[in-house]
Amino acid sequence: MIFTNPKLEDKNLHLVLGTCRIMPVMKFSKLNCIHTWTYKDNYKDKHYNIGRTYSINEAYEMLLLILGEKNESEYIGHEYSFDEIKENIEFIRSMFNKLDGIIIEVSSLKYCKKNNTVVHNRRDSTVNSSLTKNDMENYLKKIVNLVPEKKIIFINHFLHFRIGNRLIINKYLKDCENNYENILVITPSELWDNNFSIGVSKKFLSDENHYIKIPDVLNKVCIFIDDKIINYYKLKVF
């Protein structure tokens, strides 16, 4: 599969934050997306790589960094040092006013902190903290207040009973969606919950598998996400 870098035209420009369930998918999007993380060689888009965000507070702290409201000296990163992402941070900052929306995949309540500071692009083995109900609600409000003029689209990572925290995250996201007109929550696994026939075996429903391991599914998941965004916000996309 060959992907091209974002054209970065002004119309329908969206910043994408998250991990493996959203980055490869949105490469197929009709929207004009700024991708912020890479997944293996065949999905790389190095130009705007700033690392993964798992939890809602990681996404919030990354937005602060992009907007220049968090000093680079406060940045702690596992996968990338600040010097490795500085150029891309500055570039995304220069494009921020042109953004129509921000797409944020929220996959975890767990995160890593060091010296009371959130660690960016953390490794799973370093997780040492977890968001409470109040934390989650507060960070959702913080993001809305930080970018009140932007469309905010939250993507659920993958919902099923095996990982209870995902269901908790979905509840908080849906509560937030009900309170703000500019917020939309999308759950791609509804495709399978609704028995949507796309030729995927049952093993796909185990969390160990990812969209990226079934390339033919990527485009279909993207169409599902695109349609939700385009219809909800009544976007004109050609």
pLDDT digits (tens, 9 = 90+) for 127-143: 899 999 899 999 999 99
Structure tokens at 68: 């220049």
**145 inside domain:** yes
Question: Which of the listed ranges 4-13, 45-54, 175-184 does the model predict with the highest average pLDDT?
Answer: 175-184
pLDDT digits 0-9 by tens, 158-187: 665 556 677 788 888 988 899 998 999 998
pTM above 0.75, yes or no: yes
For the cut 90, the answer to whether the pLDDT of residue 39 exceeds it is no
Beta-carbon count within 10 A of 189 CB: 19
238 lies in some domain = no
Beta bridge partners of 106: 156
**Tokens 């975890």, located at residue:** 108
Residue 1 maps to a domain: no
75 has pLDDT over 90: yes
Determine, yes or no, domain membership for 81. Answer: yes
- Looking at the domain assignment, is residue 160 inside a domain? yes
pLDDT of the residue at 126: 80
Q: Out of 16-30, 170-184, 193-207, which region has the weakest mean confidence (pLDDT)?
A: 193-207
Range of the domain at 90: 13-233
Instruction: Say which range, 80-89, 148-157, 192-201, has the weakest mean pLDDT.
Output: 192-201
Say whether pLDDT at 12 is over 50: yes
Domain containing 143 — which CATH number? 3.40.50.1110
More confident residue, 86 or 6: 86
User: Distance between CA 32 and CA 48 in Å, rounded?
Assistant: 14
Whether 24 shows a pLDDT value over 90: the answer reads no
In a domain, 73, yes or no: yes
Q: Please report the pLDDT score of residue 209 as a whole number.
A: 55
* pLDDT band, very low/low/confident/very high, at 53 (cuts 50, 70, 90): very high
Judge whether 169 lies within some domain: yes
Kind plus residue range of the DSSP H or E element containing 33: strand 32-35
Among the residue ranges 44-53, 72-81, 157-166, the one predicted with the least confidence is 157-166
pLDDT at 9: 61
26 CB-near residues (< 8 Å, 6+ apart): 16, 33, 35, 103, 222, 225
**Predicted local distance difference test score (pLDDT) of residue 212:** 62
pLDDT on residue 10: 67
Structural domain includes residue 4:
no
CB atoms near residue 178 (< 10 Å)? 9
Mean pLDDT, range 6-16, rounded to an integer: 76
Mean residue pLDDT of the chain comes to 83
Residue 193: predicted pLDDT: 57
The total number of structural domains that make up the chain: 1
The tokens describing 193, both together, are 């919950």
Instruction: Please tell me the distance from the alpha carbon of residue 106 to that of residue 167, in angstroms, as a whole number.
Output: 11
